[in-house]
């Protein structure tokens, strides 16, 4: 079925602005040993400064490689480049629930760096969990398919009485196949995204782009998010997509405006959750991850959009690196 609510997927990546910072991240999950084997996960990202003269300079670049036993939801291997030895202690820990807490215990100041690695770690649990799509697409039961433990009313998609729960079966949520996923990279700009490898069959990708620049006294941002899946025949389709446009006060560290635009989404209830973006206005940038975790709950929100809000906690630090250099 190819009937996704929301608008068409973004066909191109905007050109980099002179005097801007672009953060791009990808989380790629593959199953090289087949559907019953472990998930190999490569998360990579980069902060790229584009000066007012158009010259580009890499500020930060990180790659994380992990192997996850998807059936046991346990991390089998975990490493980062540049190296961080403490992360090896994530082996044996849960890949979903408790993962972020484990990171906080191992690296208490990690998230306050607002660097690329911090963002990759923050997105790790939902990105790996999203590879359950590969099982569902092949008619295999996924772990969440336990009716007694469903996250009813967790977000718009899981609304009680909504399309997802009404169509829920012993295999899991109803399968909605979205439109084809256009290439992320700008063909005319080899620096538009960091380098990443093609997905294999049964692979999934979570991709983010955050552009930050100065506009008079304000900071502005253009934030893009997409989850996609490659089927057995190599066709990549969009599962979730959002675009968020923001303005913020870089001195007071608060949001001035925020508008979310829905791309393809799986269920009719999902696009309306974009209205939750207005709740960012007046909120502090520097405590956004905690604010979203505590207050952006229920059917007025989208868990995937919430993850995009969480990523915006880093824009103040990104802007600070932009101002003296651009």
Q: Which pLDDT does position 148 carry in this prediction?
A: 61
What integer pLDDT is reported at residue 1 of this predicted model? Answer: 43
For residue 13, being part of any structural domain is answered with: no
What band does 123 get if pLDDT is binned at 50, 70 and 90? very high
Residues 6 or more apart in contact with residue 97 via CB below 8 angstroms: 125
CA 308 – CA 25 distance, rounded (Å): 12
User: Average pLDDT of 220-244?
Assistant: 97
Residue 77 lies in a domain: yes
Global confidence as pTM: 0.94
In a domain, 209, yes or no: yes
DSSP conformational letter for 233: T
User: Per residue in 141-184, pLDDT tens?
Assistant: 776 445 567 889 889 888 999 998 898 888 888 888 999 999 99
Query: Is 6 domain-assigned?
Result: no
Residue 205 belongs to a domain = yes
- Please state, rounded to an integer, the average pLDDT across all residues of the chain: 92
In the predicted model, is pLDDT for residue 253 greater than 50?
yes
User: Is residue 133 within 8 Å of 239, Cβ to Cβ?
Assistant: yes
DSSP bridge pairs for 226: 207, 241
Q: Is the peptide bond before 188 cis (omega within 30 degrees of 0)?
A: no
Cα atoms in the 13 Å half-sphere on the side-chain side of 120 = 29
Domain that holds residue 263: 29-141+151-322
Structure tokens at 80: 């980062």
Tokens encoding 78: 């975990």
Q: Tokens in use for 42?
A: 């490569």
Tally of structural domains, the chain: 1
**Helices (DSSP H) in 93-219: which residue ranges?**
99-106, 116-129, 132-137, 163-166
Residue 21 covered by a domain: no
Q: Specify if 229 maps to a domain.
A: yes
Lookup: tokens for 216: 């008079």
Q: Is residue 4 part of a domain?
A: no
């Amino acid at each position: 079925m190819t009937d996704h609510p929301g608008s068409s997927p973004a066909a191109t990546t905007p050109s980099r602005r002179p005097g801007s910072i672009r953060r791009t991240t990808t989380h790629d999950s593959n199953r090289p040993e087949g559907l019953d084997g472990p998930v190999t996960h490569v998360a990579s990202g980069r902060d790229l400064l584009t000066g007012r003269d158009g010259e580009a300079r890499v500020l930060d670049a990180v790659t994380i490689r992990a192997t996850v036993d998807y059936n046991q939801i346990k991390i089998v291997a975990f490493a980062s480049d540049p190296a961080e030895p403490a992360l090896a202690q994530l082996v044996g820990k849960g890949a979903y629930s408790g993962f972020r807490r484990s990171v906080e215990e191992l690296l208490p100041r990690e998230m306050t760096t607002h660097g690329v690695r911090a963002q990759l770690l923050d997105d790790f649990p939902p990105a790996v969990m999203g590879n359950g799509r590969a099982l569902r697409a092949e008619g295999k039961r996924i772990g969440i398919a336990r009716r007694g433990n469903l996250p009813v009313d967790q977000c718009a998609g899981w609304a009680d009485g909504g399309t997802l729960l009404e169509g829920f079966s012993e295999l899991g949520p109803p399968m909605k196949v979205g439109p084809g996923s256009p290439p992320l990279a700008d063909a005319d700009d080899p620096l538009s995204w960091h380098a990443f490898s093609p997905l294999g069959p049964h692979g999934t990708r979570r991709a983010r782009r955050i552009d930050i620049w100065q506009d008079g006294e304000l900071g502005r941002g253009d934030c893009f998010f997409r989850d996609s899946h490659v089927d057995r025949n190599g066709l990549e389709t969009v599962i979730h997509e959002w675009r968020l446009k923001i303005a913020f006060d870089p001195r007071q560290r608060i949001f001035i405006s925020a508008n979310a635009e829905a791309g393809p989404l799986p269920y009719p209830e999902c696009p309306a959750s974009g209205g939750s973006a207005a709740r960012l206005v007046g909120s502090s940038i520097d405590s956004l991850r905690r604010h979203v975790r505590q207050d952006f709950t229920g059917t007025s929100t989208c868990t995937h959009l919430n993850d995009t809000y969480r990523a915006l906690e880093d824009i103040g630090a990104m802007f600070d690196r932009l101002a003296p250099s651009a």
